Structure 1
Amino acid sequence: MTAKKEATLLQALIPILFLIVLLTINVIVLGSGAIEGANQIALLLGAAVAGVISFQLGHTWHEIEVSIVRSISSAMAAMLILLTIGSLSGTWLLSGIVPAMIYYGLKILNPTIFLLAACVVCAIVSLATGSSWSTVATVGIALLGIGKALDIHEGVIAGAIISGSYFGDKMSPLSDTTNLAPAMAGTDLITHVKYMMYTTIPTLVITLLIFMVWGFTLDTSTTATDSQAVLAAIENSFDLNPLLFVVPVLVIVMIVKKVPALPALLVGALLGGLCAVIFQPDVVR
């Protein structure tokens, strides 16, 4: 039986450095096209290099396979949530839930303050639910649609949504990570949140100032015309029944009541499909 050796710092860094080099080459050569497959190949090659080093250190294929399965298992919950978010966003778009949010959001929100408002809204919802994933999957989808209708760049909209969502997740007493961190460190939840405020609150204030300034620099000369066209298209395509808002409210209430994110989002996706059949029969056909 081959004796197992501990990896040196250099051996541990080789797969990471190899991966960084491959990803850099992909971005330089392919640009945005790198995400269409080249980066995945780079990840597989990086894993192969790590496997070769592991063999050199005396590990068997069975041990490597067990480690692979363990790593995939630890990420499975997040992957299932991502798949469920895809289902939820699809049924909510088809049922008219997201179009209804976009419709009323366009009537309420001004392009100048949209980025600021998006960040604040996501922070409040995430703070109330304790889940950044659920916030992005529900309110975030609608805000992305509103921002695109206002002709704001998708990357900036995503930045506002994610910034607010992660603030609430980090500071919420309902968040699993916020509860786990003090438990592992041997302190209490209130003390943990108190000391996080010293760095998190100033960061949020700076972020909000950036989004506020950015909002005033946006060109809104054609926004009104574009918004009216979007509003007319939504009115002609969907039945904007107020009962549609029951579904997102129910999902948020479930998460506030500490229902795990995966079943809560799955219920939201199923109810979205049911609403599509009831309220948008022409679209479903």
Structure 2
Amino acid sequence: MTTSKNKLTLTTALLPLVFLLLLLAVNVAVFGDAAIEGPNQFALLLAGALVAIIALKHGSRWPHLQAEMLKVMQIAIAPILMLLLIGALSSTWMMSGIVPTLITYGLTLADPAWFYAATAVVCAIVSTAVGSSWTTAATIGIAMMATGEGLGMSLPVTAGAVISGAYFGDKLSPLSDTTNLASGVCGVDLFSHVRYLFITTLPSFLIALLLFLILGVTHRATGQITQSAEM
């Protein structure tokens, strides 16, 4: 425990965070996209070591630190398992042909007038069901991007619709790893946390949906459904 004699100051408490941000910035500058393959994990370990050194210097004991680490790991284990299952789901959808099937039917049935809004809504439904923005973007998101390209729609706007829908479910789904982790770390009931997220997430999604509807109605598709045979 920290004693009054070795009281932790705000500057010292923020030192590990600043150290971690600097290491992450260096990793991105040096390794680029490859930073997530190892360097960032090493940066996290160094920042954790700095936290332990500061805690020991200010009166904490290793058994206490170990007990706190185990407590955090118990909170994080559920989101970690969800990530594993989500990765398996994404791979299964790709290998079983679900995504190519969605592309084919999308090219056949989609109407450019409501395509952007439909993309956001469908991605929101899928992300709420699976609780992951990454899985949504990697499965139905890919299908929507390919469909949008085949219809001659704007790919940046389509990507925005995919992201909007994907993060809607990522925020509000009880299966979301980040939602479970945030409520667990803060000691808040999961569904109470989700109810408060509705206050900001739902209005912003409805505003985005309205904009997508306007863009879809005013957009004139420049291409035809010429890629369906290639899908």
Q: What TM-score do you get using the length of structure 2 for normalisation?
A: 0.70
* Residue 104 of structure 2 corresponds to residue 103 of structure 1: yes
Partner of 1:22: 23
Shift of 1:212: 4.6
User: Relative to 1, partners in 2 of residues 1:224 and 1:76: Cα closer, same or farther, differing over 3 Å?
Assistant: same
C-alpha separation in 1, matches of 2:131 and 2:159: 18
Bigger relative contact order (CA 8 A; separation at least 6): 1
Q: Which residue of 2 aligns with 1:242?
A: none
Aligned residue number for residue 147 of structure 1: 144
Structure 2, unpaired ranges of 5+:
150-154
Mapping of 1:18-97 within 5 angstroms? 18-97=19-98
* Aligned AA (1:100): T
Q: 1:141 to 1:38 in 2, by over 3 A?
A: closer
C-alpha deviation, 1:125, in angstroms: 5.6
Paired with 1:36 and 1:220, the residues of 2 have a C-alpha distance of 40
Partner of 2:189: 180
Distance 1:12 1:74, change over 3 A: same
Runs of 4+ in 1 over 6 A off after TM superposition: 216-219
Q: CA deviation at 1:182?
A: 7.7
Q: Percent identity, aligned pairs only? A: 33
Post-superposition CA distance 1:163-221 (Å, at most 9, x none) = 33246538xxxx987x936869xxxx9xx67x954x44431233224545666899964
Indicate the larger mover: 118-127 or 59-68.
118-127
Q: Could you say which residue in structure 2 is the equivalent of 1:132?
A: 131
1:110-125 matches, within 5 Å, as 110=111, 113-124=114-125
Q: State the AA in 2 paired with 1:10.
A: T
Query: Which aligned pairs between 1:238-277 and structure 2 lie closer than 5 A?
Result: none
1:226 is paired with a residue of what secondary structure?
coil
Matched with 1:164 is 168
Change (3 A) 1:110 1:73: farther
In structure 2, do the counterparts of structure 1 residues 123 and 89 end up closer, same or farther at CA, with 3 Å as the change threshold? closer
Distance 1:166 1:7 in 2: 36
What residue identity is the alignment partner of 2:131? S
Deviations 1:239-266 (CA, angstroms, capped at 9, x unpaired): xxxxxxxxxxxxxxxxxxxxxxxxxxxx
Matched length: 213
Amino acid at match of 2:86: I
TM norm structure 1: 0.58
Contact 2:2–2:8 (Cα < 8 Å) also in 1: no
CA RMSD of the aligned region, Å? 4.0
Helix, strand or coil at the partner of 1:58: coil
Contact 1:167 1:200 in 2 (8 A): yes
**Paired residues of 1:124 and 1:168 also in contact (CA < 8 A):** no
Q: Taking structure 1 as reference, are residues 132 and 182 closer, same or farther at Cα in structure 2, changes over 3 Å only? A: closer
